[in-house]
Amino acid sequence: MPPTPEPKAAGLLQGTLDMMILQVLALEPQHGYAIASRLQQISQDVLQVQQGSLYPALHRLEKKGWLAAEWKESEQGRMAKIYSLTKAGKKQLAEETENWRRMSAAIGLVMGTAR
Amino acid sequence: MPPTPEPKAAGLLQGTLDMMILQVLALEPQHGYAIASRLQQISQDVLQVQQGSLYPALHRLEKKGWLAAEWKESEQGRMAKIYSLTKAGKKQLAEETENWRRMSAAIGLVMGTAR
DNA sequence: TCTACATACATCATGCATCTAGGTATGCAG
DNA sequence: CTGCATACCTAGATGCATGATGTATGTAGA
């Protein structure tokens, strides 16, 4: 058998995916597939974004006007849908970030992880 | 109109309620209503646990064997269902706490809140 | 006494984000 | 020509939080 299956980091925290997508796009426009890779990479493999979560999220955000999409060529020389933050998306990101801070701080208080 | 409606701290982070209930009960056995009050108080009013979330969660946790329930008199002199952590619940709490740390740290990395 | 409010439990319908599992298509390495 | 990484997508199931609603009791105040 394999060396030890590794518990495998479970799913995402509900509600944080949208925020993280906005954050990644705030740095630089990206296509979906790349966003997922970035998140996994930045988080050192803790966050694994399933495609079945990713694409619905992108469509959700675009429909709400936080994102704009455009077909372009990716770095690998293929067509890809490049997403970028709209002005409304930037505002939304600020709001969600602030809310995350409040929430995680509150949970920290409960869990005795203050500081 | 009222002085300013106050944005009102939105709901909980999906998946964190179970962990927080376990944590509160790790300090001292409590009945449901008191658990909700504690959480709100400890979090300085950021976390508002709806009864429609609370009681299903308690039943969920009891069914899984993390909690044990017993009818006793509350401090206010009424009958109340007092919940306490089982041994399995203690183990579960440790696991969920560890997972929360990993997750929130990972999100912190993404959001540039490392530290 | 009557009313309102806090305590204390509970369920149901709804909404919604995520996951699993499937599918299409292309380009490149072996 | 086979497999893998890239790149997009959807459908169905699951599971949790919410809002609404319901019951019952004790107590403070009018």
Per-residue confidence (pLDDT) for residue B114, from 0 to 100 = 60
For nucleotide C27, the protein residue with its alpha carbon nearest to C1' is A78
Q: What is the dihedral of CA B62, B67, B73, B77, to 10 degrees?
A: -90
Range of the domain at B55: 16-111
Interface of A with B in 33-52 (CB under 8 A): 39, 42-44, 46-47
Question: Is residue B7 predicted with pLDDT exceeding 50?
Answer: no
Q: How far is B72 from chain A (nearest CA, A)?
A: 25
Tell me whether residue B22 is in a domain: yes
Question: Is residue A6 in a domain?
Answer: no
Is residue B10 assigned to a domain?
no
Give yes or no for a contact between A52 and B50, defined as CB atoms under 8 angstroms apart: no
Mean pLDDT in residue range B3-20: 73
Q: What is the pLDDT of residue B11?
A: 83
DSSP string across A102-114: HHHHHHHHHHT--
Q: Contact A19/B111, CB-based, under 8 Å?
A: yes
pLDDT (tens digit per residue) in B18-58: 999 999 999 999 999 999 999 999 999 999 999 999 999 99
Name the domain count of chain A: 1
| Residues in chain A where the model's pLDDT stays below 50 | 1-8
A47 in a structural domain: yes
In a domain, B105, yes or no: yes
Residue B29 lies in a domain: yes
The predicted structure's pLDDT at residue A10: 63
Q: Which residues of A touch B107 (CB under 8 A)?
A: 13, 16, 20, 43, 47, 100, 104
CATH number of the domain within which A71 lies:
1.10.10.10
With respect to residue A4, please indicate whether it lies within any of the assigned structural domains: no
Nearest to A104 by CA among B104, B40, B37, B53: B104
HSE-CB at A95 with a 13 A cutoff on CA atoms is: 12
Domain presence at residue B56: yes
